[in-house]
Structure 1
Amino acid sequence: MTGPLDIRTARRRYVTICVLFWLPLGLTIAPLVLLFTERGMAMAAIAGFFAAHSLTAAVLELPTGGLSDVLGRRTVLAAAGLLNLTALTLQALGTTPWQLGLGTALMGAARALSSGPAEAWYVDTVQAHSGPGAELRTGLARGSSATSAALATGTLLGGALPWLLGLGPDIGARLSEATSGLVLPLSVPPLLGAAVEIAFVLYVLTALREPPRPKTTLREVLRGIPVTVASGLRLGGRDALVRRVILSAGAAGSALAAIELLAPGRAASLTGASESGAVLFAALACAGFICAGIGSHLAPFTARLAGSGERAVLVSLGTSASGLLLLGVTAASAGAVSVVLAATGYGLVYLGLGAAGPSENDLLHHRVTSSGRATALSVQSLAQQLVGALTGLVVGVLPPGPLPWLLGGTVLLAGALLWVRSGKHPSPAVAAAPCAAVPGRSGADA
């Protein structure tokens, strides 16, 4: 076993992992609902599929969070890639509700497995090379920018491919006939995503070098899951800064839920038709990912300008909240000025969230040890999903107009205000014990 990778190599491999993981998911953003509709699924069934994704991810988030702390980052990431490969194949070729539902549920399981191992690997590698005080924000920012770029590229490509196939009047019919109706033009983006997932798994297995871990059994891992869940739930209670990071993630989840639920309908009402509204929303989604990538790229500069990572989070979340509130106050108007202001607000939401993420995670990684790093990231992801789901339920019953937008903006503003008081945090990093039943854990994986 050679020594730890240098920082530049680790950063490059981390960015590549981010691109390969998120590009297939971006490919499905535009065509997935339309593909399910083409398969004869009612909107209630489609909503059930997406609920299966969210519920599976939420239920498995903490139990799987500690797996990479025990089994290894590479093993868990490869498993996530294989689950996504299966999910995308089922979504592309499935024709029955149980096949499509299983596909979205497996994608939720992959989401739970993937929320932390790549980032934990990068932080472990950098700290093994440069010590626990190593600068992390730049690499985290580049990974976040790469994620946004992959999602933006995937969204455009996933929306364009079926449209391009439809330009030739016989192409779609021939494709469907040759495959007995299994492959439709709308199936092509998820099938392309499945091919990318194969490259992702191969790259993870060959490029993510990490030290050997203590031998363990499946029984020992499963026996340690309750300890992992309990330690994850206690994590925020032991450290005020970690608690603020977790609560801020929940506030961001609320903002994203409001955007995802309300923006498509607003785009359709603006264009006057659901088809053209879908095209406009795809363009908006792509622009949002680009803004998030720019914000992530500017995160180190924002932290230097603000004077600290905590103040950078305050400024970034405040910017995002102002964008969502701007969307709220323009919701009742359709004039040209309102449209421009709304588009500006949409961009500010993603710009601010993109800038906040690397600073939040830089603070988090300096507060937890390697043995609990993936668990901490899972707690953060769980908070985002749960608060987002709750916001979605509330938004769904509120009357249309400014109020649903203002709800998301208010929650996000509350998340920003958590960072007004910048306290001192002298205590050492906190270990969120992964699976205590596994013997031989040293707490330093790198």
Structure 2
Amino acid sequence: MTGTVDTRTARRRYVTVCVLFWLPLGLTIAPLILLLTERGMTLAAVAGCLAAHSLTAAALELPTGGLSDALGRRTVLAAAGLLTLAALVLIGLGTAPWLIGLGMVLMGAGRALSSGSAEAWYVDTVHVHAGPGGELRTGLARGSSATSAALATGTLLGGALPWLLGLGPDLGARLGGATAGLLLPLSVPMLLGAAVEIAFVAYVLTALREPPRPAATVRGALRDLPATVTAGLRLGGRDALVRRILLGAGAAGSALATVELLTPGRAAALTGEAEAGAVLFATLACAGFVCSAVGSHLAPLTARLAGGSERAVLVSLGTGACGLLLLGATAASTGFGSDALAATGYGLLYLGLGAAGPSENDLLHGRVTPSGRATALSVQSLALQLAGALTGLVVGVLPSGPLPWLLGGAALLAGALLWSPRTGAAPRDAPEGDAPHQDRNAGRHAGVSG
């Protein structure tokens, strides 16, 4: 117990880390594309920068998860904060496309480093303090809610800050000196995010005391990375429950890719002009994050009412699928009633995805050992990203109308049906070296298969 904190303190610190890391990224959502075009970049160049971010994050997901397992959560999280800090400064002040591209690559690397590390720290700490059967779902739900709330707040603040400050396009010239030509109104949210990242790094280094772990070096961690990554990839192949979690993550990625790709155009068509559509989309994005936060907050209650984590995932993903199918059903309709149903579907999608996440991760942490916890979370994130990328390519070539929406809804519905109760299933075995996870409602869903 030396050097660790109790469960309640760990929960509070985990929530704080989630807020401090995701608030700066939320600040970039509204101004990023406009800032890059204001710098003179074409849409093709902007798309290339976004692709550089996504591909970097995807390529580094598993290696960085292995580093977190080998070197420690605090070290990797601090590195993630420093890389994101550098990225935000480069994007906010950079004028050359290569500088902005470098910033996007660094942001992708920071995103990959952060993936799962804070959650793994929280679970490690709870297990040290309360044992392998310690209750995780409440803390995971609060962390997910805090992430969504930070993204929602950042989206609103990042979109409104230049207007609220009354800044003109000649801000850099007003300030003079080295800032002339560098600092635009849309740069301010990026630089504010960089300041928050400084606070994030300081908090991680001072507050996240880790449970004891075997001594490791960077060289040794890099040498062991291939074995760690291979073990992470094999996890889904040998464990049916983990395989369902990964397939569920892929289904969620397909749903998110569909709604994020199609909603901006639908908003512009609804308002009649691109500028007003952008404002509507920012509002919808914020509302989506709020619904996700509410869903995450309700995840423990959902699990209790449903009879356990597995049935909670079924209910939650099913709710999200209904929302996306409702968006598809109203895609070809106009009028107040249709728009109201579409808005309801949008909210249900994010509410369901928010509620599913904590229960899925509660199950996942019961199936992996501490030495592979961050790697397993990285595999889950990778499944979401790859499925989302593939779905985005397919949706992008489909004709407009209900079909693309219905495709995403069908994928999420299939992910939900993976969790349908099956009778006569064999009991699940915990992975070697880890005690089985004790679901508080295990007696109420014994018929659910593994």
**TM, length-normalised to structure 2:** 0.93
1: CA distance, partners of 2:37 / 2:175: 18
2: CA distance, partners of 1:163 / 1:243: 47
1: CA distance, partners of 2:85 / 2:419: 40
Unaligned runs of 5+ in 1: 433-446
RMSD across aligned positions (CA)? 1.7
- Which stretch shifts more, 263-272 or 417-426? 417-426
Superposed, which structure 2 residues align to 1:164-179 within 5 Å? Answer: 164-166=164-166, 174=174, 179=179
- Which stretch shifts more, 210-219 or 28-37? 210-219
The corresponding residue for 1:357 is 357
Conserved 8 A contact 1:25-1:154: yes
What code does the residue aligned with 1:249 have? A
Check if 1:279 corresponds to 2:275.
no
Check if 1:306 corresponds to 2:306.
yes
Check if 1:210 corresponds to 2:188.
no
Conserved 8 A contact 1:166-1:172: no
Superposed, which structure 2 residues align to 1:231-310 within 5 Å? Answer: 231-310=231-310
The corresponding residue for 2:187 is 187
Deviation at 1:137, TM superposition (A): 0.3
Superposed, which structure 2 residues align to 1:16-31 within 5 Å? Answer: 16-31=16-31
Runs of at least 4 residues off by over 6 Å: 167-170
Check if 1:45 corresponds to 2:45.
yes
Deviation at 1:258, TM superposition (A): 0.8
The corresponding residue for 1:327 is 327
What code does the residue aligned with 1:99 have? L
Per-residue CA deviation, residues 331-356 of structure 1 (Å, 9 max, x unaligned), is 11121111101000000000000000
1: CA distance, partners of 2:34 / 2:55: 22
Deviation at 1:403, TM superposition (A): 1.1
The corresponding residue for 2:154 is 154
- Which stretch shifts more, 295-304 or 218-227? 218-227
The corresponding residue for 1:198 is 198
What code does the residue aligned with 2:128 have? A
1: CA distance, partners of 2:309 / 2:426: 12
Check if 1:377 corresponds to 2:377.
yes
Conserved 8 A contact 1:26-1:153: yes
Give the 3 Å change call, closer, same or farther, for CA 289–18 of structure 1 in structure 2.
same
The corresponding residue for 2:70 is 70
Conserved 8 A contact 1:176-1:182: no
Conserved 8 A contact 2:172-2:181: no
Superposed, which structure 2 residues align to 1:76-91 within 5 Å? Answer: 76-91=76-91
Give the 3 Å change call, closer, same or farther, for CA 409–152 of structure 1 in structure 2.
same
Per-residue CA deviation, residues 84-134 of structure 1 (Å, 9 max, x unaligned), is 001111110111111111111111111111111100010010111111001
1: CA distance, partners of 2:407 / 2:164: 39
The corresponding residue for 2:447 is none
Deviation at 1:259, TM superposition (A): 1.1
Deviation at 1:167, TM superposition (A): 6.4
Conserved 8 A contact 1:295-1:354: yes
Check if 1:338 corresponds to 2:342.
no
What code does the residue aligned with 1:143 have? G
Deviation at 1:164, TM superposition (A): 1.9
Per-residue CA deviation, residues 165-200 of structure 1 (Å, 9 max, x unaligned), is 346687576258872110100000010000000000
Give the 3 Å change call, closer, same or farther, for CA 129–318 of structure 1 in structure 2.
same
Find the residue that maps to 1:66 and give its secondary structure: helix
1: CA distance, partners of 2:231 / 2:113: 18
1: CA distance, partners of 2:195 / 2:329: 43
Find the residue that maps to 2:429 and give its secondary structure: coil
Deviation at 1:219, TM superposition (A): 2.6
1: CA distance, partners of 2:238 / 2:135: 24
1: CA distance, partners of 2:138 / 2:397: 41
- Which stretch shifts more, 282-291 or 104-113? 104-113
Deviation at 1:231, TM superposition (A): 0.8
Conserved 8 A contact 1:88-1:191: yes
Find the residue that maps to 1:224 and give its secondary structure: helix
2: CA distance, partners of 1:345 / 1:294: 15
Give the 3 Å change call, closer, same or farther, for CA 183–411 of structure 1 in structure 2.
same
Conserved 8 A contact 1:235-1:242: yes
Find the residue that maps to 2:150 and give its secondary structure: helix
What code does the residue aligned with 2:119 have? E
The corresponding residue for 2:446 is none
1: CA distance, partners of 2:432 / 2:344: 40
Conserved 8 A contact 2:292-2:353: yes
Deviation at 1:136, TM superposition (A): 0.4
Deviation at 1:315, TM superposition (A): 0.3
Conserved 8 A contact 2:6-2:129: yes
Give the 3 Å change call, closer, same or farther, for CA 431–164 of structure 1 in structure 2.
farther
Deviation at 1:2, TM superposition (A): 2.9
The corresponding residue for 1:441 is none
**TM, length-normalised to structure 1:** 0.94
The corresponding residue for 2:393 is 393
Superposed, which structure 2 residues align to 1:7-18 within 5 Å? Answer: 7-18=7-18
What code does the residue aligned with 1:219 have? R
What code does the residue aligned with 1:210 have? E
Identity of aligned residues (%): 78
Unaligned runs of 5+ in 2: 435-450
What code does the residue aligned with 2:259 have? I
Deviation at 1:223, TM superposition (A): 1.6
What code does the residue aligned with 2:395 have? V
The corresponding residue for 2:430 is 428
2: CA distance, partners of 1:406 / 1:96: 41
Conserved 8 A contact 1:175-1:185: no
2: CA distance, partners of 1:431 / 1:405: 43
2: CA distance, partners of 1:303 / 1:100: 44
Conserved 8 A contact 1:30-1:159: yes
